[in-house]
Structure 1
Amino acid sequence: MIREMPWNLIISKLKKESTSEENSQLEAWLSDSGNRELFEELQGLWDKIQSNASSYTPDSAYYWKELSRRMKTSSSTPVAKPDRKSTFHIWKYVAAACIVIVVCFSFYLGQWAGTPEATLLEYKSMGGKSMASLPDQSSVWLHSNTKLICDIQHKKEERVVTLRGEAYFDVAHDKRKPFIVQTDGVRILVHGTKFNVEAFPDMENIYVSLLEGSVSLDTENDHRYLAPGETATYNKSSRRLSVTKDDVLFAASWTKDQIVFEQRSLQDICRFLRKWYRVKIDLDPTIADSIHYTFTLRNEPLEEILRLMARINPIGYTFNENNELSIYKK
């Protein structure tokens, strides 16, 4: 029988917001050595997520708007929005708590059900980017709306992860246990390297960009090797795989703390904005190369960046109901 997890007590403790009574209740639960071991894993994971999320600010304006839309709130009904500082802290804690619960609840089920060999770890990044540390010491950055399922801890011969979305991998080297990334139609074999995989379900192609090391790719019809500086493109419809030299640093640019633009054209900047915020942008071709900007992109909300750009040059912008962005001459 699976024991009940006191998530409310655990999260309050991790956030350092627990009362004396809650601490006493949690200590009673922690008197079991198995429970304490699990809590210590949670504490370590929480600390890692907090340290990596400290410099990241999600696009809170969009999330509040999206939440309102999904709740079918009337456009005439005012929606209260917390101030930016408060929103950041709320989202930071929620993101961290969600990752902790998703990852460790899978572990907990396996441990208490008595079948740890079947344990799967699931990581999700619902909004913005998040970093996950895998049990084999590999690191993975997850883009927004990305899910990673890991079968690593108890596999004897290989480390296997399944990806839906986009992720940047920094894989720990282990000759005895190859690292495998599975996507829709492509199997990527790794021995210890850095690479980016873009494999969203709604995309026609899957992209694998190699920054360091070497990987091999297997599809239904092909087997290819990648060298650093190359990108593999797999078309889901034709099931064809191609390899080309590419700007692989751009492919992984969304994982950076900041990007500096110096007299870059609007067209170049929109290329990065598409990747950074994962948003579709329809750019007016008459201003694509004639307008230039110098600024540093960190983790500001997209609309804040657009407002600043519109003040500097005569451009306008709109979002449609699918959150697709149009930029035009004003």
Structure 2
Amino acid sequence: MKRENLNHIINDFFDGITPKKYSNYIRYWLMKDIQVEEKDEAMLQIWNNLHEEDMNVQDALQRFQANRNEYENKIRQRNKRKKILRWAAILILPIISAVLPWLYAEKFFEQKQLVEFYVPEGKIDSLILSDGTKVILNSNSNILYPSSFNAHSGNRDVYLLGEAYFSVAKDTKHPFIVHSGKLNIQVLGTEFSVKAYPNEEQITTTLVKGSVKLYDKSHNEMMSPNEQIVYNRANGQLSKQSVLASECNYWMLHNLSFNNQPLGKILQAIEKQYKVKFDIGRSVETNQRFTMNFTNRETIDDVMKVITKLKNNLEYYKDGQTIKLIQSRKEDTH
């Protein structure tokens, strides 16, 4: 594979613009110990192309390499959910692109170690960071964070792919920043949630209490409690709306709540929750909006019966973990 093509594939995946049907294949390939040299060259090329005039790459590489033995000695101690980062040029973690700017700024060397915490499909898990911040992660989510925050580095930086709820320990001298793609969410002490799956076009931030600032190269937006901001990865646009924040985080109880959401988004959430795959017929209109709630006690059949009752003439058929949806031609009798 040509290096240029490899660079495009990796960048698109980390920016969340890879077509959904290819995302799982790319994620699997990145995490496997195959084609290491090609991925090595691609990562190094990305490194060298970013802000060359503002950093001494060779010096950074040498300093990074000096810590390599320390990381490799400890890597055997990792459990199923935690992985210690090693040599940057061959990093194959799903959120490496978001981490690279941190490495360039040389904050990585002050932090010494980064830890990846991954929650598999169909699970919810939690952790407490070294500063006391509590994080609850939804299914199929990754968070990358330092084993301990450095008191002299200024910020408390973490990197997220997926969905998480943060209860941030207050520290006015060290802002807490969640990085997800090109969007940054900065707080001092507050509670909020972020949904930023790489195969979805939007990043959604919902504030429960306190205040947060969202920013990228073009925006600098403040949020108040019970506000939600949706960031479009494709065009970089932000939209703000008022919500009941408590209802936006039902997923922490394994519940599902949808308020005027399009059917397509509802089906995506159901796929994650129930580990199913929808085969949607061409005649099914997925832009129609619905409001509905499901508890963790309801089965997939309970959920589908509600959806097919709300949407006229929609029928479903189960084949193992695949659910086929079709729009019948029956006349509406309501």
Place the TM-score, normalised by the shorter chain, in its bin.
0.5 to 0.7
Q: In 2, distance between residues paired with 1:149 and 1:197? A: 14
- Alignment correspondent of 2:121: 127
1:298 partner amino acid:
N
Matched, 1:221 2:231: no
1:297 partner amino acid:
T
Matched, 1:237 2:234: yes
Task: Kindly indicate whether the alpha-carbon contact (under 8 Å) linking 2:131 and 2:149 is maintained by their aligned counterparts in 1.
Answer: no
When residues 206 and 307 of structure 1 are mapped into structure 2, their CA distance, relative to the original with a 3 A threshold, is: closer
Q: In 1, distance between residues paired with 2:207 and 2:193? A: 7
Q: In 2, distance between residues paired with 1:99 and 1:312? A: 48
Aligned-partner SS, 2:166: strand
Aligned pair partner of 2:81 in 83, 93, 102: 102
- Alignment correspondent of 1:201: 198
- Alignment correspondent of 1:275: 269
Matched, 1:317 2:313: no
Task: Kindly indicate whether the alpha-carbon contact (under 8 Å) linking 2:185 and 2:214 is maintained by their aligned counterparts in 1.
Answer: yes
Aligned pair partner of 1:139 in 112, 134, 143: 134
Q: Structure 1: where are the runs of 5+ without partners?
A: 1-65, 71-97, 110-114
Higher relative contact order (CA 8 A, sep 6+): 2
- Alignment correspondent of 2:71: none
Give matches, 1:46-125, under 5 Å.
100-103=79-82, 105-106=83-84, 117-125=111-119
- Alignment correspondent of 1:76: none
Deviation at 1:328, TM superposition (A): 5.8
- Alignment correspondent of 1:94: none
Deviation at 1:155, TM superposition (A): 2.3
Deviation at 1:125, TM superposition (A): 0.9
- Alignment correspondent of 2:44: none
Aligned-partner SS, 2:269: helix
Show CA shifts across 1:188-209 (max 9, x none): 0011212111111111121111
Task: Kindly indicate whether the alpha-carbon contact (under 8 Å) linking 1:189 and 1:217 is maintained by their aligned counterparts in 2.
Answer: yes
Task: Kindly indicate whether the alpha-carbon contact (under 8 Å) linking 2:135 and 2:165 is maintained by their aligned counterparts in 1.
Answer: yes
Deviation at 1:179, TM superposition (A): 0.9
Matched, 1:180 2:177: yes
Aligned pair partner of 1:149 in 144, 165, 180: 144
Show CA shifts across 1:159-203 (max 9, x none): 111011111112222222211100111000011212111111111
1:139 partner amino acid:
K
Task: Kindly indicate whether the alpha-carbon contact (under 8 Å) linking 2:111 and 2:146 is maintained by their aligned counterparts in 1.
Answer: no
When residues 201 and 170 of structure 1 are mapped into structure 2, their CA distance, relative to the original with a 3 A threshold, is: same
- Alignment correspondent of 2:161: 164
Provide the identity percentage.
Answer: 25
Show CA shifts across 1:20-64 (max 9, x none): xxxxxxxxxxxxxxxxxxxxxxxxxxxxxxxxxxxxxxxxxxxxx
1:192 partner amino acid:
G
Q: In 2, distance between residues paired with 1:273 and 1:310? A: 10
Show CA shifts across 1:80-105 (max 9, x none): xxxxxxxxxxxxxxxxxx994332x5
2:117 partner amino acid:
Y
Of stretches 160-169 and 319-328 in structure 1, the one that deviates more from structure 2 is 319-328
Q: In 1, distance between residues paired with 2:114 and 2:219? A: 29
When residues 209 and 99 of structure 1 are mapped into structure 2, their CA distance, relative to the original with a 3 A threshold, is: farther
Show CA shifts across 1:4-26 (max 9, x none): xxxxxxxxxxxxxxxxxxxxxxx
Deviation at 1:116, TM superposition (A): 8.2
Task: Kindly indicate whether the alpha-carbon contact (under 8 Å) linking 1:179 and 1:191 is maintained by their aligned counterparts in 2.
Answer: yes
Q: In 2, distance between residues paired with 1:101 and 1:152? A: 16
2:162 partner amino acid:
G
When residues 171 and 277 of structure 1 are mapped into structure 2, their CA distance, relative to the original with a 3 A threshold, is: farther
Aligned-partner SS, 2:80: helix
Task: Kindly indicate whether the alpha-carbon contact (under 8 Å) linking 1:253 and 1:276 is maintained by their aligned counterparts in 2.
Answer: no
Q: CA RMSD in A?
A: 4.7
When residues 195 and 306 of structure 1 are mapped into structure 2, their CA distance, relative to the original with a 3 A threshold, is: same
When residues 311 and 225 of structure 1 are mapped into structure 2, their CA distance, relative to the original with a 3 A threshold, is: closer
Q: In 2, distance between residues paired with 1:198 and 1:228? A: 17
When residues 319 and 214 of structure 1 are mapped into structure 2, their CA distance, relative to the original with a 3 A threshold, is: farther
Task: Kindly indicate whether the alpha-carbon contact (under 8 Å) linking 2:130 and 2:149 is maintained by their aligned counterparts in 1.
Answer: no
The TM-score with structure 1 as length reference comes to 0.53
Q: In 1, distance between residues paired with 2:132 and 2:271? A: 27
Task: Kindly indicate whether the alpha-carbon contact (under 8 Å) linking 1:230 and 1:244 is maintained by their aligned counterparts in 2.
Answer: yes
When residues 174 and 120 of structure 1 are mapped into structure 2, their CA distance, relative to the original with a 3 A threshold, is: same
- Alignment correspondent of 1:297: 295
